[in-house]
Homo-oligomer: A and B are copies of this chain.
Amino acid sequence: MVAAKRVFSVKNFNKATMEDIAREAELSPGTIYLYFKNKEELFASLSLRILHYMNIRLEQVHNENFQEPEEKMKALKQALYEVYEFDPIVLINMFHLQSSETLRNLSPHLLSEIKDLSRSSFRSMSKIFEEGIKKGDFIDRHPVALADIVWALFSGIVLWEESKRLIDSKKDFLKSTLEIAFEIFRRGIKTYPDSINSVQTLNNFVYND
């Protein structure tokens, strides 16, 4: 898996060959098939580790008792960033996998494990928002939609910054962009004293759409 990761970090799923991986692992191609049914499964297995990690981290965030929802949001951002740091390469590949039909070829067992972990992670995120809304700290939007948005923001930034690095290979703006994005997001879902609530009601039509 370490070898596969190294190979996938250089070539994408389609360009990386089993022989590349075998060579990197100093094994023969056949050996890989003792442990992974096929290329897809090998790839998906990599994602599993990071999904597990993400799941745990998001549950922690959800369960920890912070004074302020503000703090909880910062913890969420921090958790996601740590997920990225845990294994950037695999995460990026996972984002690619996510919107491709590679998923269909997976063994049912592996697929369901992936789905379960994803669902569980999303549940944790949704609950964070649910609480904040209940407490009146967050604007009243569907918690699942908010989780979707956080996830989209996170994956979008990771992919976009990665793609910029591919072209320019300049400095890494991921961390700082993520900070600003979450700052804006935090500010955006926070409720404010009456005086400025006009804004909120104005936009509420979206939710009832």
Contact = CB atoms under 8 A, between A and B. Distances in A.
A177 interface: yes
Contacts of A141: 180, 184
A199 interface: yes
Question: How many copies of the polypeptide does the oligomer hold?
Answer: 4
B179 A209 contact: yes
A180 B149 contact: yes
Given A151-B156, A156-B151, A193 B196 contact: yes
A160 B207 CA distance: 19
A187 interface: yes
A149 B155 CA distance: 11
Interface residues of A, number: 60
B177 A148 contact: yes
A155 B157 CA distance: 9
B179 A206 contact: yes
9 contacts: A12-B100, A14-B14, A92-B99, A152-B159, A152-B161, A155-B156, A156-B157, A179-B206, A193-B195
Interface centre among A151, A175, A196, by most B CB within 10 Å? A196
A176 interface: yes
A145 B177 contact: yes
Nearest to A98: B163
Interface of A: 11-12, 14-15, 70, 92, 95-96, 98-101, 103, 115, 139, 141-142, 145-146, 148-149, 151-157, 159-163, 166-167, 173, 175-177, 179-181, 183-190, 192-193, 195-196, 199-200, 203, 206-207, 209
Contacts of A145: 173, 176-177, 180
B99 A166 contact: yes
Nearest to A157: B152
Given A149-B177, A199-B187, A199-B190, A99 B157 contact: no
